Amino acid sequence: MVTFDYRLLCSGVLYNCDVVTADWTKSDASRILFFEPPFTLRVCSYPFDEYPQELALQFCAPFVHETKGATTTGFYPDEDIARDLTALLTLFCHRLITVATKIHEHHPKHYDNELLIFRDLPIGFVKSLKPVHWVRQPVSFVYGGPDGITEIKDNNPAPLGVGPNQIKKLLLSLPQLSFATSVVQSARLYSLALQQIRSDVDVAYQLLVAAIEVMANEVLDNFKPNVGDMVFTQSSVERLATEFGLNAEQSCALAVEACKREQWISRKFKKFILDNITDEPWREDDLFKLPSQYFPNKNEFEKALSDIYDARSQLLHHGRSFPPGAQMGISYRVPFRVGMECFDPSSKRFPPVVWFERVVNCAINNFIEASIRDAAVQSAI
């Protein structure tokens, strides 16, 4: 086992909320976000709220072998571990956390008298450093006419208290679940979406939809709609069968048969979200400061999901960008085209990407937590 040291970047501020202190910004204990096997994670930025916040990650990894055909490769999977762990932390903490670089390796002794200097290896990282983080947003001042400044808005993510016990529970329970691989794959896509969300809304929206599809296609692998919906989907087949002289029962049976190769991807996408969503996406967000008047109505939620999936298909297959309203909330500034759509009461508003990001985060996290509870109940029985 080799010990690896990485530096991470958080576009926000994290602290240990389990530490009892009068001021967490002045507490060294609040810097320790996680300090149990299999890894440690702590804040190393000075001051505490430096932006982006720098985190120190340390973990151990064994030497592994991978065989493909007649070729066998041996390596340390530390880069994969660091990338996937930060993706999971991004999903669990609802903050963008990325790998900046590897800085150190500590190797075990190969023989009794081996000197420490040959086992502690500093890693050159200046040329390989790839800092990925959001640009810090300036503070906004709201003027109230004669009253002067009436409000000061911080447009950056609010400080977030992290509970080490909660993270430990999630990470230790995850490998026991049958869909653990899909969670990691979904977290990778979600993390990439957050990296792109302020620079390329079209890419971010596609990645968020894909993050849900990864989960939905496994969890709802055997999903099929009812017979009525299948017949409606193949209504042209039913109508043609009737014209050929088949009775109603035979026409319906033929329409259902025509659905056998249908994978129902869009329906799985909507069902997974609807089955795992709460009221959280309609509450005030501490990551993106989007006013609630730009949220889709609850009673039109399913319609909003359909619009999102249709717009994604238009982009993927026809190259048409998402409507301008998708950009609302990614910055403290509102582009002119976005404002024309969002502030026009007669215009149809498209769900902003920052709102859908929260929907995706809530749906996946709620599903994971419910599955962990169900697994605990089953093991107790």
Q: How confident is the model at residue 344 (pLDDT cuts 50, 70, 90)?
A: low
Are 167 and 280 contained in the same domain?
A: no
Q: What is the mean pLDDT of residues 280-288?
A: 91
Residue 247 — very low, low, confident or very high, per pLDDT cuts 50/70/90? confident
Q: Other CB atoms closer than 10 Å to residue 205's CB: what's the count?
A: 25
Q: Provide the domain limits for residue 7.
A: 2-171
Residues 300, 333 within the same domain: yes
228 and 293 inside one domain:
no
- Domain tally for the chain? 3
Whether the predicted pLDDT of 103 surpasses 90: yes
Closest CA to 212 of 235, 247, 187: 187
Domain shared by 92 and 152, yes or no = yes
Provide the pLDDT for residue 147: 77
So what's the pLDDT on residue 305?
95
In this structure, is the dihedral angle defined by the CA atoms of residues 355, 359, 361 and 366, taken in order, positive or negative? positive
**Structure token digits, residue 256:** 């259902």
- Quick: pLDDT tens for 197-241: 999 999 999 999 999 999 999 999 888 888 887 788 778 888 888
Q: How confident is the model at residue 144 (pLDDT cuts 50, 70, 90)?
A: confident
Q: Is the pLDDT of residue 345 over 70?
A: no
Query: DSSP characters for 153-172?
Result: E--SPPPEEE-HHHHHHHHH
Residues 165 and 29 in one domain: yes
Q: What predicted TM-score, i.e. pTM, was given to this entire model?
A: 0.90
Q: Per-residue pLDDT for 338 more than 80?
A: no
272/204 same-domain check? yes
Residue 8 exposure: Cα atoms within 13 Å on the Cβ side? 30
User: Which residues, 6 or more positions from 273, have their beta carbon under 8 angstroms from its beta carbon?
Assistant: 212, 305, 359, 360, 363
Instruction: Give the position of tokens 């009812």.
Output: 226
Q: How far is CA 300 from CA 72, 93, 267, 295, 307, in A?
A: 53, 28, 16, 10, 11
> Does the pLDDT at position 304 exceed 80?
yes
The average confidence (pLDDT) of the chain is 89
Structure tokens at 370: 């419910």
Span 303-308, average pLDDT: 94
Q: What is the pLDDT of residue 17?
A: 93
236 shares a domain with 361? no
- In 3-state terms, what secondary structure has residue 175? helix
Which pLDDT belongs to residue 182?
95
